[in-house]
């Protein structure tokens, strides 16, 4: 509503409420990136339809960002409870590996596809349950609890495949990561469904409120009668499920499972996406839309850097500078310093 009102007024003086909207900064960052692309990359916004499928840079970016969006959605809820899950990458590797191994290397699946995928998701859910129990029942610090799985999970995936890349030749498996639905990449449908389900659960049930309460003050939440332990287990299981789905998507897209490299550092990108989306690592308030935008910012940034012909090795430097800038812009102390400097 506020956005519509603002666009009708002249653009030079947006109302203060719009500037203070939590999604303003992430959206502005994304807009700046897209503006750079508009100027610097010819045909960036060009979309075409071939064989009934939509093609173009924008579709490409959103498609590539799909696994990261899934991981970031799961991570958002974990961070909302003041937690962190650094085992996301390992879970991605594990679920992709399980699915690829059960499908096997032949043109026919060794196990029906649906069972292979169910087994992969089952492995991911077990990982989430493990993390959740360590955090809630044993009271381990989330970073330590998930560090265990981060180290051991990838080791397990490598053990299963003996460190080799498992290639899949079974066609139907490729649909998840490379198929099209309603003219758009199918991965987008998956993200949209996951987003819709979790957003409805957060908005239409009290779950969102409960998760915020745990993040703001776990002790108070427990004293107020919330089942904090089950809530914490739920968010870690959900996060792992998202990671497992992302793992299936990635291995389906590259038509193989690579236990060594699949999802490497994905947990850090997911945390980054959540932070860029305006969710504080201190827990409490969170924004699912923000995390999706954060993931889009990261992917657009990567795409921009590559398309501008900047050597890929600069990618990490640019990324880190953007993170520093975004973090500083969210710091109250920095804003104070800035306004004081302007007054002087």
Partner 1 sequence: MKSPYFTPLVTVVLLLAMLGIGGAVYPGLLSVQVILNLLIDNAFLLVLAIGMSFVILSGGIDLSVGSVLALATMMSAWLLQVAHWPPQAVIALVLLLGALFGGGMGAMIHYFKLQPFIVTLAGMFLARGLCYLISINSITIEDPLYLAMSQTQLGFLGGFVSPSALIALLMLALAIFLAHFTAFGRGVYAIGGNEQSALMMGLPVARTKVLVYAFSGFCAALAGVLFSFYMLSGYGLHAQGTELDAIAAVVIGGTLLSGGYGYVAGALSGVLVLGTIQTLIAFDGTLSSWWTKIVIGALLFVFCVVQRLMAMGAARRAAA
Closer by beta carbon to partner 1, 256 or else 275: 275
223 binds partner 1 (CB under 8 A): no
Of 41 and 323, nearer to partner 1 (C-beta) is: 323
Residue 2: other Cβ atoms inside 10 A: 14
315 is a site residue for partner 1 (CB under 8 A): yes
Q: How many residues bind partner 1 (CB under 8 A)?
A: 46
* 193/344 Cα distance (integer angstroms): 52
Tell me if 321 contacts partner 1 by CB under 8 A.
Answer: yes
Handedness of CA 257, 235, 140, 284 (dihedral sign): positive
State both tokens at 122.
């089952």
Q: Does residue number 126 form part of the binding site for partner 1 (CB under 8 A)?
A: no
Exactly one of 221, 271, 296, 301 binds partner 1 (CB under 8 A); that residue is 271
Q: Is 153 in the site for partner 1 (CB under 8 A)?
A: yes
CB of 333 to partner 1, least distance (A): 5
Among 42, 43, 50, 333, binds partner 1 (CB under 8 A): 333
Q: Does 28 bind partner 1 (CB under 8 A)?
A: no
In whole angstroms, the minimum distance from the beta carbon of 271 to partner 1 comes to: 7
Q: Does 88 bind partner 1 (CB under 8 A)?
A: no
Q: Does 341 bind partner 1 (CB under 8 A)?
A: no
Task: Give the integer Cα–Cα distance in Å for 287 and 279.
Answer: 6
| Identity of the residue, 45 or 324, whose beta carbon is nearer to partner 1 in the bound complex | 324
Task: Determine the interface stretch with partner 1 among 58-66, 114-122, 206-214, 318-326 (rule: CB under 8 A).
Answer: 318-326
Nearer to partner 1, 53 or 319 (CB): 319
**Token pair listed for 121:** 């998701």
Stretch that binds partner 1, among 120-128, 185-193, 222-230, 275-283 (CB under 8 A): 275-283
- Contact footprint for partner 1 (CB under 8 A): 84, 134, 138-141, 143-145, 147-156, 158-159, 162-163, 268, 271-272, 275, 281-282, 313-321, 323-324, 327-328, 331-334
């Amino acid at each position: 509503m506020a956005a519509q009102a603002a666009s009708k007024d002249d653009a030079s003086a947006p109302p203060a409420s719009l500037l203070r909207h939590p999604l303003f900064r992430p959206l502005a960052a994304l807009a700046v990136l897209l503006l750079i692309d508009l100027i610097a990359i010819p045909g960036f916004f060009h979309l075409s339809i071939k064989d009934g499928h939509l093609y173009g840079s924008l579709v490409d970016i959103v498609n590539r960002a799909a696994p990261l969006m899934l991981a970031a959605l799961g991570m958002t809820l974990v961070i909302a409870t003041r937690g962190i899950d650094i085992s996301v990458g390992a879970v991605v590797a594990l679920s992709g590996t399980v699915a690829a191994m059960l499908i096997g290397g032949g043109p026919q699946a060794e196990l029906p596809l649906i069972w292979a995928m169910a087994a992969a998701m089952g492995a991911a859910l077990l990982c989430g349950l493990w993390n959740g129990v360590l955090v809630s029942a044993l009271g381990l610090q989330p970073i330590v609890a998930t560090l265990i799985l981060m180290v051991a999970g990838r080791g397990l995936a490598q053990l299963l495949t003996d460190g080799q890349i498992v290639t899949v030749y079974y066609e139907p498996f490729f649909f998840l990561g490379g198929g099209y639905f309603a003219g758009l990449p199918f991965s987008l449908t998956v993200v949209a469904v996951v987003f819709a389900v979790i957003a409805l659960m957060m908005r239409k049930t009290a779950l969102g409120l409960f998760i915020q309460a745990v993040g703001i003050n776990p002790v108070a939440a427990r004293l107020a009668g919330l089942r904090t332990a089950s809530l914490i287990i739920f968010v870690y299981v959900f996060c792992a499920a998202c990671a497992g789905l992302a793992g299936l998507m990635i291995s389906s897209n590259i038509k193989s499972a690579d236990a060594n490299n699949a999802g490497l550092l994905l947990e850090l990108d997911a945390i980054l996406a959540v932070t860029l989306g305006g969710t504080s690592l201190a827990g409490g308030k969170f924004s699912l839309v923000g995390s999706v935008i954060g993931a889009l910012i990261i992917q657009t940034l990567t795409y921009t850097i590559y398309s501008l012909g900047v050597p890929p090795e600069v990618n990490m430097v640019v990324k880190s500078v953007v993170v520093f800038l975004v973090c500083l812009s969210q710091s109250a102390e920095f804003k104070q310093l800035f306004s004081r400097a302007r007054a002087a």
